[in-house]
Structure 1
Amino acid sequence: MTGLALTVDPGLPDLRAADRLLHTLAAELALPEGTFGCTHLLREGRPRVAVSLTLPAEGALRDQLATRGYDVTDGLPDTVGRAVLYPGVEALTGTLTVAELLARSAIDRVAVLGAPDGPDPDTRLVTRDHVRPQWRHGELVLSAMPATGGTLVPFEVPDPTPCCADH
């Protein structure tokens, strides 16, 4: 994608905080159509989550982020970001077929855990209103897993139980 790619590393502790930040930035900055907002796990130094924003064209985003107190660097921290904001994400609610999911969004393909081939386009996918594909080799890929009734669900659950939550 051409345009502008920026990384913000506010030292976030987890993916949920990064998702919230991306949604806040999208609302406050009126990001243009075609924007991708991704999370990135940073392991050097203290492990943390950074966010990146990739816009289809240059703009004033760098200045807007700096005005809000964020340290901004050019480019992406890696090529495997987990997409939270992307074209069509708002249309991925309820239950859709794989074909509908691909037609409505920027997702390039669906990979089913444990299956060598992609799913049939008519396979139903229960989105749980939480669809987080990841960049793999230049493609936006949603990892899914089999669920009841021959359906699929995204691998990432919307409200994960923290490790050791019952202790």
Structure 2
Amino acid sequence: MNTADDAPGVHSVIGVDAGTVSLREADHLIHDLVDRLGLPSGTIACTHLIRTDERRGTAVSLALPDTGAARAAWERIAALAELNAGAVLADDVYGSQPLTHTAALAAREHARRESGRAVLYPGVEHLTGTVTTADLLDLTAIERLVVVGMPTAETPASTTPVLTRGHVRPEWRAGDLTLALVPAAGGTLAPFEVPDPTPCCADHP
């Protein structure tokens, strides 16, 4: 599955900062927002590290399939009131500074595909147990694989097993949704990011 050419622009990306600090908290926020905003399939939701003079923590971005879906989600943005969050969609702003500023940073990074660690993306539901590298590329929105320690020009064989551990977090790199892998036991590979020992949202991939 390849959705790169259809990646939404700034008018389809909502940035949200609810004051989360860790990646684990941001992952939980994403799953919470899926329910609160009724986000449709095809949404790509990412976490972003925030390092400004005022804020050290994480924000999230929600790339909806199209402008209409983003506008529909934005109309439900009042559901964020109890989260004390800031949110941004293009020129629309909800909440107060500095949260709206950092929410805008997250939305901009995602819209430009410059950075962002994807938690929710098309095909993620397939990534449980052991899959192949071909499955990663064919069944999900992941576009590129890199293996730590392997030359960039080289790619693993399409039949190489990947131990997902139910935790696969690709990142935007130079416009591609890219998954970093590391060698694992028995000639297998595994995602570079190790899941939390007691992962947030255990029912979610």
Q: TM-score, normalised by structure 2?
A: 0.74
Match of 2:78 in 1: 66
Structure holding more strand per residue? 1
Q: Which of 157, 164, 170 is matched with 1:120 structurally?
A: 157
Aligned Cα root-mean-square deviation (Å): 1.6
What is the aligned-residue identity percentage? 50
Deviation, 1:160, is 5.7
Q: Secondary structure at the match of 2:186?
A: helix
Deviation, 1:85, is 0.6
Structure 1 window deviating more from structure 2 (53-62 vs 121-130): it is: 53-62
Higher relative contact order (CA 8 A, sep 6+): 2
Matched length:
161
Q: Secondary structure at the match of 2:156?
A: coil
Q: Could you tell me how far apart the structure 2 residues matched to 1:67 and 1:29 are?
A: 7
Q: Does 1:33 align with 2:41?
A: yes
- Which residue identity is paired with 2:181? A
Runs of 4+ in 1 over 4 A off after TM superposition: none
Q: Which of 25, 42, 52 is matched with 2:61 structurally?
A: 52
Deviation, 1:120, is 1.2
Q: Secondary structure at the match of 2:28?
A: helix
Match of 1:147 in 2: 184
Q: Could you tell me how far apart the structure 2 residues matched to 1:65 and 1:145 are?
A: 39
Q: Could you tell me how far apart the structure 2 residues matched to 1:21 and 1:155 are?
A: 22
Q: TM-score, normalised by structure 1?
A: 0.90
